[in-house]
Amino acid sequence: MLTPNVDLNGKTVLVTGAAGFIGSNLVTELMKTVDKIKIVGIDNMNDYYDVAIKEYRLEEIEKLAAEKSGAEWIFIKGSIADRALIDRCFEENGIDVAVNLAAQAGVRYSITNPDVYIESNLIGFYNVLEACRNHPVEHLVYASSSSVYGSNKKIPYSTDDKVDNPVSLYAATKKSNELMAHAYSKLYNIPSTGLRFFTVYGPAGRPDMAYFGFTNKLRNGEKIQIFNFGNCKRDFTYVDDIVEGIKHVMQCAPEKENGADGLPIPPYRVYNIGNNSPENLLDFVDILQQELIRAGVLPADYDFEAHKELVPMQAGDVPVTYADTSALERDFGFKPSTSLRDGLRKFAEWYKEFYM
């Protein structure tokens, strides 16, 4: 077990992508549990998916910030690709810990819209790294992705595995983030930790994710397409588990130390955060439909068989994701534990409240 060496109480934390799915949940958790915290959130509020969901997340944060004495919340609408904005943010706020969750997400979207991935995931992340170099932080934590494993044949996926064969531009940008962070850790002694997230889901999630898209289509009486003829497995990870993992990691920065040559050993780590229990896509859809009926999103007599279509694999997709989380358990005594049914139940209940 690692000993925490970053006290978040009374600190200023930057969360990029603060209106995003993971970012907004992290801001909420920090505000609820950390004393006298100042959180600076940045998000460009782009329309990759329904902006109303991002606005809803921000409204929930604003409500909480108004109730929580001692906590300070500053929101900046802007892009991390704007170098001057990022520099100004660090200069004016004295950032202690930076959590970079801003990124253009989506494997399939990267095939048709590559420019936005270069702008956000590469240029944006470079700007954050430069700001951490010029305004040293105690810890930089950043989002990577299970996509870096590509078509890795060995399962479960371990951070010790080689990840040199991305099958999408999105995956390539996330692998690039890890390489860039390693270089900056080595050159400038910036403590950094990358987190490879595995298929995150939950209430107020991303509408481009399968569970959300399936729900929208089923409610509209449309057919859902299940790729690879249903022979896909995904390591679905509930958002609260992801946030708990991030919070553990934030408090344990890699130690700065020099090697035998007198030069810094890069204070750098990478972890998987996944459920360590991949679920078959057909089983996942079955549980989803049960929970949608239970929540009243769909009628009890809904004909699912008539609304399912098994189709081939799509370009950029992989058949299995499966996280080896042993390093996370070893260093933090933490392992995601929310069952798929519990997580989908919470999503279905939120969906009913938000849309109906």
pLDDT tens column, 190-231: 999 999 999 999 999 999 998 999 999 999 999 998 888 778
**Is pLDDT above 70 for 66?**
yes
> What amino acid positions are annotated as catalytic residues?
170
Candidates 144, 156, 170; CA nearest to 271 is: 144
**Mean pLDDT calculated for residue range 41-49:** 96
Per-domain boundaries in the chain: 12-200+238-276+322-337
Give domain 12-200+238-276+322-337's CATH number out of 3.40.50.1970, 1.10.3720.10, 3.40.50.720, 2.40.10.10. Answer: 3.40.50.720
d(CA 279, CA 28): 28
Q: Kindly state the helix (H) or strand (E) to which residue 188 belongs, with its residue range.
A: helix 169-188
* pLDDT-based confidence at residue 316 (cuts at 50, 70, 90): low
